[in-house]
Structure 1
Amino acid sequence: MSESEEKASSTSERLREEYRKHVKSQISLDLVDTISTIEQHHEQLLELCEQINLAKKQVTDSASNTKTTINTVFENFLAAVTDTVNERCQKLIEEVEKVQEEALDPLEQCSQMLEAKVREAAERVEQGKRLQKHGGVLAKDTVIRFQEEAGAMTSLPEVPALCAVPSVSVEFPSDPSLIEGMHQLLVDAGSVSRMGPVQITNIVEKPGALLVSWEEVDEDVSDDGIEFYLQCSTAGATDPKHATFICRYKGPDYSYLLRDIYAGESYLLRVASRREGATSLGPWSLIQSAKTTISHFRWQQRANSSWTIADEGRLASKVNSELEVLHSDGPLLTPGTSVLFKVACGGVGCSDEGLGLTCKPITGPEQLLYQGALFLNTQGCVFLDGVSRVTWLPAIQEGVHVSFAVERVSSIKLRVYIECQDKQVTYEWGVPDAHSGLYFVASFGEPCWRLSVH
């Protein structure tokens, strides 16, 4: 073999070896990818198995709990019916005995009198027979006295007729009969549902709050005259059987912003409904566990301020007459959220006092009438970028609740809803960056003002 042929053969062998290594490496990589895919598939199957096990447990547990409820209800019902039947039976018997006693007392007296007269008459008969045997030897006066005494006994005492004497009886309903009525009551008692008619469909985290939404499972049922009840457990509850539930909302809405909850704490939620005319709530929904990881709204706490902050930053109290703008602890109000102010104490208020939103921190109350501020003063006048608006809201005073809700319209525009005492206004507000948050602010002078933020 020539040198050129040897080089060609060597090159060919090297290329074949490199190709084999490449193929082997590719196969190894493909195998790793395949194994990884199968492992992911295996994990997904395990998750599905866990999900189906949870589903089976939900069916089994709910059925068991429902059977326990049915047994308890009917045991209580049976006990109540037995007690009621016994009480009614005893009452009727007592009434019969009373009538019997009242009717027998005079009859017993009459009977005793008759028995005495019967005995007296029998004795007179025996006396007469003895006189008859000795008639020849008796004095005439003795016979005459006997005849006089016998004549006085001819009158009969008065005895009541049977129609005048009680004949005790009792009446029971017969159309429908008492038993048929009770039977129908039991037939109609209770109704089993595959699932509660109302279910929680969505829970969204908000600052120190949860936005809870629900829907009716049966879409064909009208929502006229329906009222929903949302209950929330105390913080940290995990076991529904031992949780303490508190009603947090009652009304016709299909969602509710559950405020004043602690970030990081778990809460159990459930909802039920009651239609107009119903005397009790329907079945509860599946219990949902939820929590918010977003801290609640709070005021900024600064040294040498005319405001004091309490209740974990929620409550602000004015301590002197210096007019100072109080800020939130950062740009906390982001699009899609709302802030609620509750005025615990307040005075009359001036035109430069009130509540508002700003794009950035401000140094004085006059800047609430500048560009980049939305201000509602205590008289109810709204200023948007320093321009007063036509529609006025109720005045801000003690006991009033004011809310600002913000949603994003575009990258440079927000829509703001302001509500005070059930009256609402809406504004389109151009801001430099509608994606970032806003500061909420309070500007008051007199030390009588105290307000909380939620």
Structure 2
Amino acid sequence: MSIEAEVLLQEAKENIEAAQNYRSELQQRLHGLNQALNQVRGSARQTREALRCHFEALQAQVAVLLSERLSVLLQEVDAIERDSVRPLDDCQKLVEQGVGTANELLGEGEAAIRCFGENEDKLGSFTKKALHIQLDSLPEVPVLVDVPCLSAQLDGSLLPALQQCIVGHGSVASRPPVLIEELVERAGGVLVRWGKVDDDFTVQDYRLQYRRSTASQYEDAYIGKDSEFLVLHLDPHTDHLFRVCARGEGRTEWSPWSLPQTGYTTLAPHEWHPGSEGYILSSRKNIALRSDSLSPAGVLYSSTPSCFCGQTLTFKILAAGQPDKRDSLGVCVERSSAAGSLQRQRAVCISTKGAVFVNGKEMTNQLPAITIGSAVTFDMEVVSLLPVTNNNINDKGSLKLRVTIGSGSREVVFDWLLDQGLDHLFFGCSFTHPGWKILVF
């Protein structure tokens, strides 16, 4: 084969490969377009159905309310009519009875006159009967002004008010006012961040929910004003769906949900090491309580070196005891059963009085004192990894970490030089007095 033919063959192969890649990219974009079309059409179909169901339910409820109100008013008319007619009927019966008596008396009187001269006793009996009936006594009949005249008072402003409410009832949006922006894995959980996409929507509260991808029901994780929340107690390597909505200022109803986003964590949850004297752990081993033990307690460490660079370690103070300058919260290279505090070599920590210690030396910078409700965070990043200086294959070199300790609204930043490269660190705590209760995540 000539060189020209080989070049042409190579170019043809390259063009075929480029065409295959081009087709693959187009197919991916076509798949994305189909997903977008399905989302628009599917959400439009669901929105139509939701609108129909809502307004049909409103129509039925309004019809029931109007029917019930009409029934109440008709019953009032019936009651007034019944109560007003009863005395009139009684009076009518009395008058009709009097008319009947008068007709009977008239007949007797006319008959007595016709028999006058023949039977005078009949005329005397008629006279006595007329005196007994008391022809000058008449029943009282009410005048029309004293008799009820029923009418209906119907407010003509109801329909315009209903019209105004109905015209402004409901709305259609092309997207929810709040969307999830970021899902960040944390130890045993996922940090969810969200934000508004509708600048005209004034938020009063956010609401975050989550569920396993295999579950059917969502659970509330957070309701409040913050735009991020750490969802804990999630099993590693398990997909979870997250969604968020918002409640507008002055409103009671929630907005539509955002599109569900799938998140997961590959990191096992932080756990305290069980069996340490002087400490009681929760069932999940993420909460430690300094118990009222008579013997002094040493340092309570983590079960594994689960702290590493790029992740935030947080200690949450759930209950506080008496502070002591020997107290410590922090991270260390190794566990030491002989140490009674993290204020030692190869460790960085903060005391409950706010003092920061690096390798056992107190820094001049100080953080606020720790008390109930405080949250202390540790963030670390690699500044440099110094090379091995000898031929020892076990020597991993030296590591310089930039450590940020935050407490309240303040933080301290410093470089921490370690004599060997490390992938993970232990965390720990020590308290001189009982009553301290610490959540780690």
Q: TM-score range by the shorter chain?
A: 0.7 to 0.9
Aligned positions of 1:29-40 closer than 5 A: 29-40=10-21
Q: Bigger shift: 409-418 or 261-270?
A: 409-418
**What is the Cα deviation at residue 375 of structure 1?**
2.6
1:326 to 284, 291, 300: 300
- Are the structure 2 counterparts of residues 222 and 113 from structure 1 closer, same or farther at C-alpha, using a change threshold of 3 Å? closer
Deviations 1:18-71 (A, max 9, x none): xx0x33333333333222222222221121121111111111221121122112
Q: Report the Cα distance in structure 2 between the residues aligned to 1:42 and 1:156, rounded to whole angstroms.
A: 111
Q: Report the Cα distance in structure 1 between the residues aligned to 2:165 and 2:422, rounded to whole angstroms.
A: 61
Tell me the residue number matched to 2:362: 387
Question: 1:157 aligns to what SS in structure 2?
Answer: coil
1:431 aligns with 2:431: no
Question: 1:432 aligns to what SS in structure 2?
Answer: strand
Tell me the residue number matched to 2:207: 229
**What is the Cα deviation at residue 163 of structure 1?**
0.8
- Contact 2:327/2:341 (8 A) holds in 1: no
Q: Report the Cα distance in structure 1 between the residues aligned to 2:97 and 2:263, rounded to whole angstroms.
A: 92
- Are the structure 2 counterparts of residues 29 and 318 from structure 1 closer, same or farther at C-alpha, using a change threshold of 3 Å? farther
Tell me the residue number matched to 2:105: 124
Question: How many percent identity over aligned positions?
Answer: 25
- Contact 1:359/1:372 (8 A) holds in 2: yes
Tell me the residue number matched to 1:77: 58
**What is the Cα deviation at residue 348 of structure 1?**
3.4
Aligned positions of 1:82-121 closer than 5 A: 82-121=63-102
Deviations 1:385-425 (A, max 9, x none): 2216565644456xx45331415495445352433xxx343
Deviations 1:191-244 (A, max 9, x none): 00011111112222222222222222134x375x532221222x3446xxxx32
1:168 aligns with 2:150: yes
2:406 to 418, 421, 427: 418
**What is the Cα deviation at residue 147 of structure 1?**
3.4
1:296 to 266, 269, 274: 269
Aligned positions of 1:365-404 closer than 5 A: 365=339, 368-370=342-344, 372-378=346-352, 380-385=353-358, 386-387=361-362, 391=366, 393-396=368-371, 400=373, 402-404=375-377
Q: Report the Cα distance in structure 1 between the residues aligned to 2:280 and 2:152, rounded to whole angstroms.
A: 78
1:211 aligns with 2:191: yes
Tell me the residue number matched to 1:60: 41
Deviations 1:357-406 (A, max 9, x none): 2355445445622355333334x332232216565644456xx4533141
Tell me the residue number matched to 2:224: 251
Tell me the residue number matched to 1:196: 176
- Are the structure 2 counterparts of residues 226 and 414 from structure 1 closer, same or farther at C-alpha, using a change threshold of 3 Å? farther
2:4 to 6, 23, 34: 23
**What is the Cα deviation at residue 171 of structure 1?**
0.9
- Contact 1:298/1:313 (8 A) holds in 2: yes
**What is the Cα deviation at residue 355 of structure 1?**
1.8
Q: Report the Cα distance in structure 2 between the residues aligned to 1:435 and 1:78, rounded to whole angstroms.
A: 68
Tell me the residue number matched to 2:440: 453
**What is the Cα deviation at residue 442 of structure 1?**
1.4
Q: Bigger shift: 204-213 or 264-273?
A: 204-213
Name the amino acid aligned to 1:429: F
Q: Bigger shift: 317-326 or 284-293?
A: 317-326
Tell me the residue number matched to 2:429: 442
Which runs of 5 or more structure 2 residues have no equivalent in the other structure? 385-399
Q: Report the Cα distance in structure 2 between the residues aligned to 1:75 and 1:362, rounded to whole angstroms.
A: 70
Q: Report the Cα distance in structure 2 between the residues aligned to 1:270 and 1:67, rounded to whole angstroms.
A: 22
C-alpha root-mean-square deviation of aligned residues, in Å? 3.1
Q: Report the Cα distance in structure 1 between the residues aligned to 2:243 and 2:53, rounded to whole angstroms.
A: 22
Q: Report the Cα distance in structure 2 between the residues aligned to 1:435 and 1:227, rounded to whole angstroms.
A: 43
Q: Report the Cα distance in structure 1 between the residues aligned to 2:21 and 2:422, rounded to whole angstroms.
A: 36
Q: Report the Cα distance in structure 2 between the residues aligned to 1:73 and 1:296, rounded to whole angstroms.
A: 44
Q: Under a length normalisation based on structure 1, what TM-score does the superposition of the two structures give?
A: 0.81
Q: Report the Cα distance in structure 2 between the residues aligned to 1:23 and 1:424, rounded to whole angstroms.
A: 72
- Contact 2:342/2:349 (8 A) holds in 1: yes
- Are the structure 2 counterparts of residues 171 and 435 from structure 1 closer, same or farther at C-alpha, using a change threshold of 3 Å? farther
Question: 2:349 aligns to what SS in structure 1?
Answer: strand
Q: Under a length normalisation based on structure 2, what TM-score does the superposition of the two structures give?
A: 0.84
- Are the structure 2 counterparts of residues 145 and 327 from structure 1 closer, same or farther at C-alpha, using a change threshold of 3 Å? same
Name the amino acid aligned to 2:204: I
Name the amino acid aligned to 1:32: K
Q: Report the Cα distance in structure 2 between the residues aligned to 1:91 and 1:407, rounded to whole angstroms.
A: 73
Q: Report the Cα distance in structure 2 between the residues aligned to 1:404 and 1:266, rounded to whole angstroms.
A: 27
- Contact 1:381/1:389 (8 A) holds in 2: no
1:275 aligns with 2:260: no
Tell me the residue number matched to 2:396: none
Deviations 1:124-174 (A, max 9, x none): 1111121122122121x5424423543521322101111101111121112
**What is the Cα deviation at residue 118 of structure 1?**
0.8
**What is the Cα deviation at residue 281 of structure 1?**
1.4
Q: Report the Cα distance in structure 2 between the residues aligned to 1:409 and 1:161, rounded to whole angstroms.
A: 104
Q: Report the Cα distance in structure 1 between the residues aligned to 2:141 and 2:383, rounded to whole angstroms.
A: 106
Question: 1:81 aligns to what SS in structure 2?
Answer: helix
Tell me the residue number matched to 1:314: 286
Q: Report the Cα distance in structure 2 between the residues aligned to 1:304 and 1:110, rounded to whole angstroms.
A: 99
- Contact 2:367/2:412 (8 A) holds in 1: no
- Are the structure 2 counterparts of residues 343 and 198 from structure 1 closer, same or farther at C-alpha, using a change threshold of 3 Å? closer
